[in-house]
Amino acid sequence: MSAPTLQTGADGRLRHLLTVEGLPRPRLEELLNTAESFLGVTQREVKKVPLLRGKTVVNLFFESSTRTRTTFELAAKRLSADVINLSVSTSATVKGESLLDTLRNLEAMHADIFVVRHGTSGAAHFIAQHCLPHVAVLNAGDGRHAHPTQALLDVFTIRRHKPNFDQIKVAIVGDILNSRVARSQIHALTILDTAEVRVVAPRTLLPVGIESLGVKVFTDLTQGLAGVDVIIMLRLQKERMRGALLPSEHEYYRQFGLTEARLQGAHPEAIVMHPGPINRGVEIDSSVADGARSVILEQVTNGIAIRMAAMSLIMGTRTQDGREVG
Amino acid sequence: MSAPTLQTGADGRLRHLLTVEGLPRPRLEELLNTAESFLGVTQREVKKVPLLRGKTVVNLFFESSTRTRTTFELAAKRLSADVINLSVSTSATVKGESLLDTLRNLEAMHADIFVVRHGTSGAAHFIAQHCLPHVAVLNAGDGRHAHPTQALLDVFTIRRHKPNFDQIKVAIVGDILNSRVARSQIHALTILDTAEVRVVAPRTLLPVGIESLGVKVFTDLTQGLAGVDVIIMLRLQKERMRGALLPSEHEYYRQFGLTEARLQGAHPEAIVMHPGPINRGVEIDSSVADGARSVILEQVTNGIAIRMAAMSLIMGTRTQDGREVG
Amino acid sequence: MSAPTLQTGADGRLRHLLTVEGLPRPRLEELLNTAESFLGVTQREVKKVPLLRGKTVVNLFFESSTRTRTTFELAAKRLSADVINLSVSTSATVKGESLLDTLRNLEAMHADIFVVRHGTSGAAHFIAQHCLPHVAVLNAGDGRHAHPTQALLDVFTIRRHKPNFDQIKVAIVGDILNSRVARSQIHALTILDTAEVRVVAPRTLLPVGIESLGVKVFTDLTQGLAGVDVIIMLRLQKERMRGALLPSEHEYYRQFGLTEARLQGAHPEAIVMHPGPINRGVEIDSSVADGARSVILEQVTNGIAIRMAAMSLIMGTRTQDGREVG
């Protein structure tokens, strides 16, 4: 058993989901296995189980993201929880209430889960450190730091196509420097003993010392994709274009955009992934995004199951509910 | 049986509700009859039936309309569905995601019904053409084209007061040119073999060739209302006033506003309708809107029942649920 | 039995909750006792009772307040009601619909409870006067007039610590002039025969003739707090600072801010309350707000129970549901 952390607690069970980094492999696989059982629920006639009935999930979004919020809202409702959506920049902080006071108030209202999205790295950890024992925190993206449910749904999706991580090569392509998604993916893939994890990006979008995470670095797309089993394209934030980091959208696409031609260099059965939303014609060509090797929409479907799994597991450590899926 | 269309499918059953135009009379009457049974539900102690339990209804509003969104939200909740409200101008499109990508994502999350409101004519059809077979589309108003649930609740309301359509005269008064409501009403009344449908408007607010829809055209209100059984007043969009189309609000009211005096020319038992929200003192006098012949609030009540009927019927063609109302 | 009023009706039972003023003591105590039974619900594994299943609660907020709206939304959901959130400034009124037309429409949709927040004093009364018999109105704050659920949760909180109101002294400190909370608190404390109610404020923040409500007036904090059992600090609206009413935030804190030192003058077991959100370092020092005598977060918890009680009682007078808590 690993040492207790903020998110796994003394008994080693999952209390919060803050980051993939340092998550013991059994915990990560428990999440994937639980999600597997929830996939069935989302395909049923009645897409609902009573696991979190009477529980209150608060979507605490300090950074707006309708798409991500919707996936958590759907996951919570399919677990029969009550959901409150709070867009915090437009509410309490208007009256000058501090983050901690907002938390204390929501705790006093008997919220059970905070789904936290914040522009500052470490925000979800901060909240988990300061919240009451009965409250669980789910990190829905914090600054450049982590986006654990995204990385989990990604390895979940990979596992359904390539179950043996120790035999596959995965390339993550794009803005590694600014991506909390990439960081979390690298950690998840490493925990699962992936044979080879590559990052592929222009030098200006690679963080210094990235090799220390155990990845192979490529600045050429053709070389980076050679023989890989999984290609994960990252979204290019258009804001980056304005700065000096990148020459132009067109130039980026020419060098790092995933086209049918580029895809030829990968393993013939390679799958193509993207966390969405896609910039068609910037980081990926439409024919690839919509093509036979793309599993991009499976990722979305799997994302609901992963979020249901995370919510039910972190609540399971606080209640007598058990974790059986009805 | 009629030829299959996008909304009725090969078996003639309702798969989407996009427009009233071309809806076979049995389908239209099935909607009205189903709504009749739901009227009882909304008057019960517990205003809820489990027909859509575990189903996900997404209100996809590209054009803001709190009132219309609320009626669909209530209808869905009273069918026990889970509801997600997406105001799209402020969400995905901010990140530059295309309409189709937004759809694909919501489908992948296992949305069951899209309620679509859009400023562009044809948007709901476009979405129905491109969505997966398990998804149903409800048009909640597209550009100047159609607003089928409004027209259905209108003929439903008429039927409760004047059951024999082949014996009544109906006048639709106001901005026919820009009104998706008027277009859908004309189609619904025609399908039900209404004895006479009139449109009454200043020449500048009449579309060219409107006669081809089988309506009688009047540019004088007194003549247009003479002997009619049903008067449907349309909302005058104040934006029209700014242009050259209309002289002034006051002048419009003098010529086309419905007053007690004007109402005298209609049948003594004529009913007065309006899709809301009302511009009091512009297209209708308050004493008429709130008077004994007004059924404007009944329309609102009936609107919930019609939307429950539409949702349950289009889902009934995709599931084993059957269509019995509990 | 008292004379019937708009909110208590001919049989003396609660039909709306508009103001604490004039509420018969048995009604007020019924609310507190019902809230007591709901406190248990919010601490259960499954925080939900089916009392309002199939009922529709509309949060009609003409003035934005995410915090207050959330407490009513949670209370309604824990009673199993369907909740519709309407932020009215951004919806119907955009299209120029009048308040009464908005009400009539929501009634026609079979809304059961309107939770009304409005910047104008008397708005909730106006709505209760004009709504249909089947609809109940809950005032969630109107102008400078009343905020009854806040006052009720305050006396509920006091009662749990100091059950004998006729033996305690309560000081309300701060902007009495502009506070609907203070007005409602004074009424509630008076109805419960509180031995002594004090208001403590700079002269510029005291309404003329406040003594007529039966309170003792203090303009010096030390004197005002001497020997009191309960201290209620009010939030200082920062907007007031801009005017001529107050010298500066710093000066206000120096004279009227609650510090540990000031607290020494109160009864050794005095409790400290605040309706939130707190301005730390303006009206209250952090060490006091978070200290052993503070019951500020209990107030938040109790607020959910009080709102559940108010909703279930006002619906109980309209239905056969009875008022047993499941």
Map A219-276 to HEC letters.
CCHHHHHCCCCEEEECCCCCHHHHCCCCCCHHHHHHHHCECHHHHCCCCCCCEEECCC
Strand partners, B272: B231, B294
3-state DSSP assignment of residue A137: strand
Please tell me the predicted confidence (pLDDT) of residue A249: 83
| Burial (CB count <10 Å: 0-12, 13-18, 19+), residue A109 | buried
pLDDT, tens digit, for every residue of B239-273? 666 666 677 888 899 999 999 999 999 999 999 99
Please tell me the predicted confidence (pLDDT) of residue B320: 42
Report strand pairing: A216-218 vs A196-200. parallel
Please tell me the predicted confidence (pLDDT) of residue A78: 97
A7 vs A19: CA distance, rounded Å: 8
- Other C-beta atoms closer than 10 Å to the C-beta of C238 total 13
Model ipTM value: 0.91
pLDDT in tens, chain A (326 residues): 457 789 998 888 999 999 999 999 999 999 999 999 999 887 788 899 999 999 999 999 998 888 999 999 999 999 999 999 998 874 444 455 688 899 999 999 999 999 999 999 999 999 999 999 999 999 999 988 999 999 999 999 999 999 999 999 999 999 999 999 999 999 999 999 999 999 999 999 999 999 999 999 999 999 999 999 999 999 987 766 666 667 788 889 999 999 999 999 999 999 999 999 999 999 999 999 999 999 999 999 999 999 999 999 999 866 543 333 33
Q: Tell me what percent of the residues of chain C surpass a pLDDT of 90.
A: 78
Average pLDDT, chain B: 91
B322 vs B325: CA distance, rounded Å: 9
B-interface mutation test, from A74, A89, A282, most B Cβ less than 10 A away: A74
Please tell me the predicted confidence (pLDDT) of residue A98: 82
Please tell me the predicted confidence (pLDDT) of residue C91: 46
Q: Which residue has the tokens 């407490």?
A: C71
Q: How confident is the model at residue B97 (pLDDT cuts 50, 70, 90)?
A: low
Q: Residue C213 has which token pair?
A: 């409500």
Please tell me the predicted confidence (pLDDT) of residue A9: 84
B207 vs B204: CA distance, rounded Å: 8
- Inform me whether the pLDDT recorded for C243 exceeds 60: yes
Please tell me the predicted confidence (pLDDT) of residue B210: 94
If you count them, how many residues does chain A have?
A: 326
- Distance (Å) from the alpha carbon of B66 to chain C's nearest alpha carbon: 5
Q: How confident is the model at residue C239 (pLDDT cuts 50, 70, 90)?
A: low
pLDDT, tens digit, for every residue of B198-252? 999 999 999 999 999 999 999 999 999 999 999 999 998 776 666 666 778 888 9
For residues B37-55, give the mean pLDDT: 91
C-alpha torsion sign, points C266, C271, C272, C274:
negative
Beta strands in A73-192 (DSSP E): 82-87, 113-118, 136-142, 169-173
- Inform me whether the pLDDT recorded for C325 exceeds 90: no
Please name which of C22, C57, C62 lies closest in space to residue C151, comparing C-alpha atoms.
C22
Chain B, nearest residue to C52 by Cα: B46
Q: How confident is the model at residue C322 (pLDDT cuts 50, 70, 90)?
A: very low
Please tell me the predicted confidence (pLDDT) of residue C96: 55
- Other C-beta atoms closer than 10 Å to the C-beta of A206 total 18
Of B54, B86, B109, the CB nearest to A66: B86
Q: How confident is the model at residue C68 (pLDDT cuts 50, 70, 90)?
A: very high
Strand order through the sheet with C230-233: C216-218, C196-200, C169-173, C230-233, C271-273
Q: Reply yes or no: is the peptide bond before residue B277 cis, omega within 30 of 0.
A: yes
Q: Residue C123 has which token pair?
A: 């708005």
Please tell me the predicted confidence (pLDDT) of residue A45: 84
**Intra-chain end-to-end CA distance of chain B, in Å:** 29
Of A86, A94, A98, the CB nearest to C70: A86
Of B47, B278, B300, the CB nearest to C56: B47
Please tell me the predicted confidence (pLDDT) of residue A324: 33
- Inform me whether the pLDDT recorded for B2 exceeds 70: no
Which one of the listed residues C8, C19, C34, C68 is annotated catalytic?
Answer: C68
| Burial (CB count <10 Å: 0-12, 13-18, 19+), residue C250 | exposed
Q: Which residue has the tokens 């399919």?
A: A78
The answer regarding whether domain C25-147+301-316 maps to CATH 3.40.50.1370 reads yes
B149 vs B17: CA distance, rounded Å: 8
Please tell me the predicted confidence (pLDDT) of residue A323: 35
Strand order through the sheet with B196-200: B216-218, B196-200, B169-173, B230-233, B271-273
Strand partners, A115: A59, A138
Q: Are B275 and B234 in contact (CB under 8 A)?
A: yes
Q: Where in chain A is the domain with CATH 3.40.50.1370?
A: 25-146+303-316, 148-300
For residues B49-65, give the mean pLDDT: 94
Of A53, A55, A108, the CB nearest to C301: A108
Q: Contact partners of C by the rule of 3+ C-beta pairs under 8 A?
A: A, B
pTM above the 0.90 mark? yes
Q: Contact partners of A by the rule of 3+ C-beta pairs under 8 A?
A: B, C
Q: Are the Cβ atoms of B276 and C96 closer than 8 angstroms? A: no
- Known catalytic residue at A238: no
Candidate from A268-272, C17-21, C96-100 with smallest mean pLDDT: C96-100
If you count them, how many residues does chain B have?
A: 326
Q: What value, to the nearest 5°, has the Cα angle with vertex B256 and ends B251 and B257?
A: 90
pLDDT, tens digit, for every residue of C150-186? 999 999 999 999 999 999 999 999 999 999 999 999 9
The b-or-e profile of C70-105 (16+ CB within 10 A means b, else e) is bbbbbbbbbbbbbbbbbbbeebbeebebebebbbbb
Please tell me the predicted confidence (pLDDT) of residue A97: 67
B170 vs B228: CA distance, rounded Å: 6
Residues 6+ apart with CB under 8 A from A158: A165, A168, A170, A230, A271, A273
Please tell me the predicted confidence (pLDDT) of residue C219: 97
Q: Are the Cβ atoms of A109 and C74 closer than 8 angstroms? A: yes
Beta strands in chain B (DSSP E): 56-61, 82-87, 113-118, 136-142, 169-173, 196-200, 216-218, 230-233, 271-273
- Known catalytic residue at C117: yes
Query: Over the Cα atoms of chain A, what is R_g?
Result: 20
Phi-psi region of B122 (alpha: psi -120 to 50; beta: other; left: phi over 0): left
Q: Are B55 and B81 in contact (CB under 8 A)?
A: yes
CATH homologous superfamily for C148-295? Aspartate/ornithine carbamoyltransferase (3.40.50.1370)
Candidate from A1-15, B63-77, C20-34 with smallest mean pLDDT: A1-15
Q: Which helix (H) or strand (E) holds A316?
A: helix A296-316
Strand partners, B117: B61
Q: Are A225 and A265 in contact (CB under 8 A)?
A: yes
Of A47, A238, A297, the CB nearest to B104: A297
- Distance (Å) from the alpha carbon of B238 to chain C's nearest alpha carbon: 9
Q: Which residue has the tokens 């829809």?
A: B213
Q: Contact partners of B by the rule of 3+ C-beta pairs under 8 A?
A: A, C
Q: Which sequence positions of B are flagged as catalytic? A: 67-68, 95, 117, 147
The answer regarding whether domain B25-146+301-316 maps to CATH 3.40.1710.10 reads no
- Distance (Å) from the alpha carbon of C47 to chain B's nearest alpha carbon: 19
Q: How confident is the model at residue B325 (pLDDT cuts 50, 70, 90)?
A: very low
pLDDT, tens digit, for every residue of B106-157? 999 999 999 999 999 999 999 999 999 999 999 999 988 999 999 999 999 9
Q: Which CATH number fits domain B148-300: 3.40.1190.20, 3.40.50.1970, 3.40.50.1370, 2.40.160.40?
A: 3.40.50.1370
Q: State the CATH class of domain A25-146+303-316.
A: alpha beta
- Distance (Å) from the alpha carbon of B101 to chain A's nearest alpha carbon: 8
Please tell me the predicted confidence (pLDDT) of residue A2: 59
Please tell me the predicted confidence (pLDDT) of residue C318: 65
Q: How confident is the model at residue B90 (pLDDT cuts 50, 70, 90)?
A: very low
> Contacts of residue B106 in chain A, CB cutoff 8 Å?
70
- Distance (Å) from the alpha carbon of B297 to chain C's nearest alpha carbon: 6
Q: Where in chain B is the domain with CATH 3.40.50.1370?
A: 25-146+301-316, 148-300
Q: Residue B223 has which token pair?
A: 């003549």
A14 vs A27: CA distance, rounded Å: 7
Contacts 24+ apart (CB under 8 A), B252-256: B252/B202, B252/B282, B252/B283, B253/B281, B253/B282, B253/B283, B255/B202, B255/B221, B256/B173, B256/B174, B256/B200, B256/B201, B256/B202, B256/B221, B256/B283
> Contacts of residue C321 in chain B, CB cutoff 8 Å?
45
Q: Residue A47 has which token pair?
A: 């897409």
